[in-house]
Each structure stands twice: as C-alpha cells, then as structure tokens.
C-alpha cells in the first residue's frame, strides 16, 4: 500500500513549516555525538516519518524538539516560533507521545486527561469537554471511568495519544508509538493517527518499520548515525527502492557510444565494465538483446548493492526480532 497523495491539509505557500530544524547537533556529556548536523523541514498538514535503526538519533532529535534534551548547536522552529527564544510559545504548539506508557495506571482515563490539561492551564470545564471528545475519538469513552490498568495494550496506547491531543497541538510527535505492539494494535493506532492528521494536525512519527512509514506517511527522513541519509516524498523513495543495479563484465573493449535502453541507465565504468540501473520489473533479457545487438558480449554479471536498500534490510532485518524485547 502506498501513502496517500492528496495535498497537505492546512498547507499554504505563506505558512512557515510546522517544524524547521537547521544544522542541529547534539553531543552528550559522555562524548557521544548523537546528532551530527541535521536539517529537516516538515510542512503543515504533513504526516512525516523519521525512520532509523537503534541509536540513530531519533529520540535525541525528538527530545530536543520537545525541550526534554538540550541541543549542542543549531536551531529549531515550530510554526515559525524559535524554540530557543520563545520556548513556552513553541511548546504549546506541540503534543508529545513518548515511547513508554507513562500515565498512572491507577487513575481513570477521564482523570488522566483532565489532570494533564490542568498542567497546561486549561480550565476544568473546558478540559472535561475536550476529554470527552478525545476519549470518543480514541474509542475509549466507554472506559472513561475504569482504572487505566484494566485497559488493553491497544487502548493504553490510544489513551497516550488522546492525552497528547488535550492541548490541541498543531504538531503531534510520536516516538515509536508502536514498538513492541502486535499488528492488530498497530493498525488500530494507524487509524486513529490518520483521523487526527485528516483533521489538520501535522504528525511526525518515528518508527523502525518501513511498512508503517509506507502506510501512513507522505514524507520520510531516514536517520543513521546522527545524520539524515535520505529524505523526501515517500513515493520517490519507494521508487528508488524499486531500482535494481547490475555490473557487467564484457568481452573486449566497449564501443564509444553505448546503446540506449528505455527506462534504464547504462554507463561505462571502465572500458570493460558496464553499470546498469533498471526498474525491478524490467526484463533482463531485453537488456541482453540490446547489448548483443550493439555487439557487446557480457562475460559475467553481478548485483550492485544499493545503499538505501542495505540500510532498510539492516533496519528491518535486525530489528524485526526486537520489538518484543523493547516493550518495556
């Protein structure tokens, strides 16, 4: 399934980005360089994924944006508001859903939401109105008066989102909200998040799962070792993933003019080696026919490794076994 392609809700040429991060760096006290100069713009209305393996720097980035972690250098603007200069104003625009469940399990969902709103100076009467609205959206209204402990795993996750929505944030940031939860709960959360995004809230989601990013997000940034290694529209990145690369060793010396192959890119790396990028769906026999018609004889071929693909394989492969362990 591919990401939706409709224009971003609430976006206009004049509005500043929902999040604008420029040359952000973070070196922790122990010397770990967690962010090495990250720049990223997220447009209003977007559903944006931050994808990356363990230790890539995702939580550090989110921590800085939500004022939980001090940056070393660089700048962060939230809807044009400088986080450093006007922290409270910027923070009022952001809702954060941290990875771990961190509400009091012995409180009732309604109280959890109303008390949370209280921290943000929202009057009780207004908080009650919002709590009803958010609990209904999260399909938790029927559970409003039960002890939170008795909610299912999926309900607890939805409660975390409902709580973050109490302040009516324009930007909702979720740090691996689905790590360690089963596929049914994940799909359930995707539905809730899609609805929130459709209602106009910009969403940034960190995840290990390419599938999740692909299903939900219109834009994507891949972080690895504190740097962004890829970013752009989901469709473009997926198209890149769909390209296969080959190296051909040829007999003799290549002609000066190489034949053209529709839809593929063919270049000579040296007089005896050809480099081919072609869509995965393309028939390799067609390539051989074109080459042989041009008098080029392929002696052997090998697959080129694709950096992006390797990254994905490493992430999905190495992390597929981890979610259960990570559910703290």
Ligand X SMILES: Nc1ncnc2c1ncn2[C@@H]1O[C@H](COP(=O)(O)OP(=O)(O)OP(=O)(O)O)[C@@H](O)[C@H]1O
Contacting positions for ligand X (CB under 6 A)? 28, 30, 32, 34, 52, 54-60
At closest approach, how far in Å is the CB of 116 from Mg ion? 22
Residue 52's binding partner, choosing from ligand X, Mg ion, none, with beta-carbon cut-off 5 to 8 A by kind?
Answer: ligand X
At closest approach, how far in Å is the CB of 82 from ligand X? 23
**Is 185 within 8 Å of 215 (Cβ atoms)?**
no
At closest approach, how far in Å is the CB of 215 from ligand X? 19
Looking at beta carbons only, is 56 or 166 nearer to ligand X? Answer: 56
First to last CA, the chain: 30
Q: Which residues lie across from 33 on neighbouring strands?
A: 27
For tokens 């909610």, name the residue. 151
Other beta carbons within 10 angstroms of residue 152's beta carbon come to 11
The contact set with Mg ion (CB under 5 A) reads 58-59
At closest approach, how far in Å is the CB of 313 from Mg ion? 20
How far is residue 46's CA from residue 182's CA, in Å, rounded to a whole number? 26
Identify the burial level of 283 via C-beta atoms within 10 angstroms of its C-beta, where 0-12 means exposed, 13-18 middle and 19 or more buried. exposed
How far is residue 12's CA from residue 173's CA, in Å, rounded to a whole number? 21
Residues whose CB falls within 8 Å of the CB of residue 321, separated by 6 or more in sequence, listed in order: none
For tokens 């692909």, name the residue. 214
Looking at beta carbons only, is 228 or 250 nearer to ligand X? Answer: 228
CA 239 vs CA 21, 214, 325: distances in Å: 26, 12, 32
At closest approach, how far in Å is the CB of 175 from Mg ion? 6
Residue 217's binding partner, choosing from Mg ion, ligand X, none, with beta-carbon cut-off 5 to 8 A by kind?
Answer: none
Residue 232's binding partner, choosing from Mg ion, ligand X, none, with beta-carbon cut-off 5 to 8 A by kind?
Answer: none
Looking at beta carbons only, is 2 or 54 nearer to ligand X? Answer: 54
Four-CA torsion 76, 79, 80, 85, nearest 10 degrees: -50
For tokens 């980035």, name the residue. 61
Looking at beta carbons only, is 69 or 146 nearer to ligand X? Answer: 69
Residue 28's binding partner, choosing from Mg ion, ligand X, none, with beta-carbon cut-off 5 to 8 A by kind?
Answer: ligand X
Other beta carbons within 10 angstroms of residue 281's beta carbon come to 8
Looking at beta carbons only, is 43 or 59 nearer to ligand X? Answer: 59
Looking at beta carbons only, is 44 or 52 nearer to Mg ion? Answer: 52
At closest approach, how far in Å is the CB of 221 from Mg ion? 15
């Amino acid at each position: 399934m591919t990401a939706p392609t409709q224009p971003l809700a609430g976006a206009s040429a004049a509005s500043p980005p929902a999040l604008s991060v420029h040359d952000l760096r973070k070196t922790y006290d122990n010397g770990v360089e967690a962010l090495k100069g990250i720049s990223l713009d997220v447009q209003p209305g977007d559903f944006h994924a931050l994808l990356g393996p363990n230790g890539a720097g995702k939580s550090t980035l989110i921590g800085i944006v939500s004022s939980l972690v001090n940056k070393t250098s660089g700048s962060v603007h939230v809807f044009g508001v400088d986080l450093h200069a006007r922290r409270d104003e910027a923070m009022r625009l952001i809702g954060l859903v941290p990875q771990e469940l961190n509400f009091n399990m012995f409180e009732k969902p309604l109280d959890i939401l109303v008390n949370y709103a209280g921290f943000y100076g929202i009057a009780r009467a207004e908080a009650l109105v919002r709590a009803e609205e958010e609990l209904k959206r999260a399909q938790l209204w029927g559970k409003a008066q039960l002890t939170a402990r008795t909610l299912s795993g999926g309900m607890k996750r939805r409660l975390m989102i409902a709580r973050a929505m109490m302040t009516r944030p324009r930007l909702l940031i979720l740090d691996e909200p689905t790590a360690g939860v089963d596929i049914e709960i994940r799909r359930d959360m995707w539905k809730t998040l899609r609805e929130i995004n459709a209602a106009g809230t910009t969403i940034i989601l960190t995840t290990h799962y390419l599938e999740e990013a692909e299903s939900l997000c219109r834009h994507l940034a891949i972080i690895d070792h504190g740097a962004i290694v890829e970013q752009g529209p989901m469709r473009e990145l997926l198209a890149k993933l769909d390209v296969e690369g080959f190296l051909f060793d040829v007999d003799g010396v290549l002609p000066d003019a190489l034949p053209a192959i529709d839809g593929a890119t063919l270049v000579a790396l040296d007089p005896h080696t050809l480099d081919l990028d072609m869509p995965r769906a393309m028939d390799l026999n067609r390539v051989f026919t074109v080459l042989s018609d041009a008098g080029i004889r392929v002696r052997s071929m090998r697959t080129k490794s694709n950096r992006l693909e390797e990254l994905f394989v490493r992430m999905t492969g190495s992390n597929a076994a981890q979610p259960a362990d990570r559910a703290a």
